[in-house]
Amino acid sequence: MRVQLEPAYVLHRRPYRETSLLLEALTRGHGRVGLVARGARGPRSAWRGLLEPFCPLTLSWVGRGELMTLSGAEATGCSPLQGRGLLAGLYVNELLVRLVPRNDPHPGLYEAYRVTLEALAAELTQEQTLRWFEGRLLEALGYGLALGECDDAGVPIDPARVYRYRIEEGTVQAGEGEGFPVRGATLLGLTREGLADPQAAREVKQLMRYVLQHYLGERPLASRALFQRPAAGVGTRGLVSRSDDEGGELGHR
């Protein structure tokens, strides 16, 4: 298979052999793809310094299967992320690498990612931007949250009540047992993507973490610990080059 000039973003990169790179990229028409960029770290490579996260690219490649060979790359512009926006971007990239299967197209998710990076670069409300992206990611994977109704009977959510949200089941009446406790007002606010209330914003963050952790499994997100460190002076190279498996460790956040 030969793909030419596909819009893409590098999610993760790590050294491979003496001068090459292994890339995880999110593409518009082919989903997440694994690529070998041969000689990309060589001193005379035209790709040296180009294959960086968060910058829109067009990529070309050849091959089939889980790992293909990069044959071309061009930059189409870049708005570098800085400070806590950079840390948020690393978190988003790690979610995509961990949760999105390779070679499964998600054009809507690609667009959501593009919008998210633009919002982070413009330093818009970070928490609301991340919650919006998490919701789009879960929807793309078929795990969208059932928020507007309670139980199988389709009873509308009452903003004055407290409920429990259960994985694979949705919103249920509050009571003992499994599930994340959450106010009806918070659920309705998330449905409208209105998180102005600080308590609702905290609850939604905890709810999203509860749901995402179910699909991520026991291995914690490496990027999460970075939010506990000062944001000044953080660069992408050191944080996205280290890896101990196919998914990769995107840093120590």
With cut-offs at 50, 70 and 90, classify the pLDDT of residue 246: very low
In degrees and rounded to multiples of 5, residue 116 shows phi and psi of -65, -45
Which residues span the domain enclosing 184?
A: 149-216
When divided into structural domains, the chain yields a total of: 2
High-pLDDT (> 90) share of the chain, %: 51
Give the three-class secondary structure for 62.
strand
Q: According to the model, what pLDDT value does residue 196 have? A: 63
Strand locations in the chain, DSSP E?
A: 2-16, 20-27, 31-37, 57-62, 68-75, 149-150, 155-156, 162-166, 170-173, 180-183
Q: Does residue 249 form part of some domain?
A: no
Q: Does residue 137 form part of some domain?
A: no
Say how many residues make up the chain: 253
Domain harbouring 205, CATH code: 1.20.1440.120
Last residue of a domain, which of 24, 43, 75?
75
Q: Does residue 15 form part of some domain?
A: yes
With cut-offs at 50, 70 and 90, classify the pLDDT of residue 226: confident
Q: What is the pLDDT of residues 75-101, one digit of tens each?
A: 988 877 888 899 999 999 999 999 999
Q: According to the model, what pLDDT value does residue 248 have? A: 42
Q: Does residue 54 form part of some domain?
A: yes
Domain harbouring 65, CATH code: 2.40.50.140
What is the distance between the alpha carbons of residues 209 and 203, in angstroms, rounded to a whole number? 10
Q: What is the pLDDT of residues 107-129, one digit of tens each?
A: 999 999 999 999 999 887 888 89
Q: According to the model, what pLDDT value does residue 157 have? A: 85
Q: Does residue 112 form part of some domain?
A: no
Q: Does residue 48 form part of some domain?
A: yes
Cβ neighbours, 10 Å, residue 131: 19
Residue among 68, 6, 11 nearest 36 (CA): 68
What's the pTM value of the predicted model, to 2 decimals?
0.86
Cβ neighbours, 10 Å, residue 97: 20
